[in-house]
Amino acid sequence: MARGSVGARTLELARSARAGVLLLVSTAAAFLSGVPLVFPSLGPSAYVLATADDPPSGRVVLGGHAVGVAAGALAYHALAGGHVVTTAVPPGAFATVRLGVAGALAVAATTFGMRALGVSHAPACATTLIVSLGLLTTPLQLAGVVASVGALLAADAGIDRVGGHPEN
């Protein structure tokens, strides 16, 4: 962040705090439910919602992640079911190829699906990798991803109603 006026620094602090606060609803729900509702691609979505001068609509954010979940689940179960990217395997293990191809197919399908539906949201490509690489694969976990994105959007809308979006 470049040096600027006190007002500019205050704005950036407000945007930064908002990005963090947006994740607290999912964190609380994860704590209460025991379901993994905080996952890596939620952070970039929170960042975009908190910092973009023209943030994406809820339809775009939720739709993009839903496409990512669907494409990731299809690719994972078709090509790599039972494997997880974090499991150590020996060099040359076919599981690595299966997971890699599932990830590549999922990103391609997510890109196509998001563009076809008009819901392009780059963080959803991280969601599709999380799913297609075997990190979140059960129906409950997949529903949790979409629900968590919905909670993020609800928190964002709530902040807007209470205090508004930080101005430029």
Domain boundaries, the chain: 6-163
* Structure tokens belonging to residue 161: 């109603």
Full pLDDT tens readout for the chain, 168 residues: 556 688 788 889 999 999 999 999 999 999 999 999 999 999 999 999 999 999 999 999 999 999 999 999 999 999 999 999 999 999 999 999 999 999 999 999 999 999 999 999 999 999 999 999 999 999 999 999 999 999 999 999 999 898 765 554
Residue 104: exposed, middle, or buried by beta-carbon count in 10 A (0-12, 13-18, 19+)? middle
> Whole-model pTM above 0.85?
yes
Q: What's the CA gap between 159 and 29, in Å, rounded?
A: 18
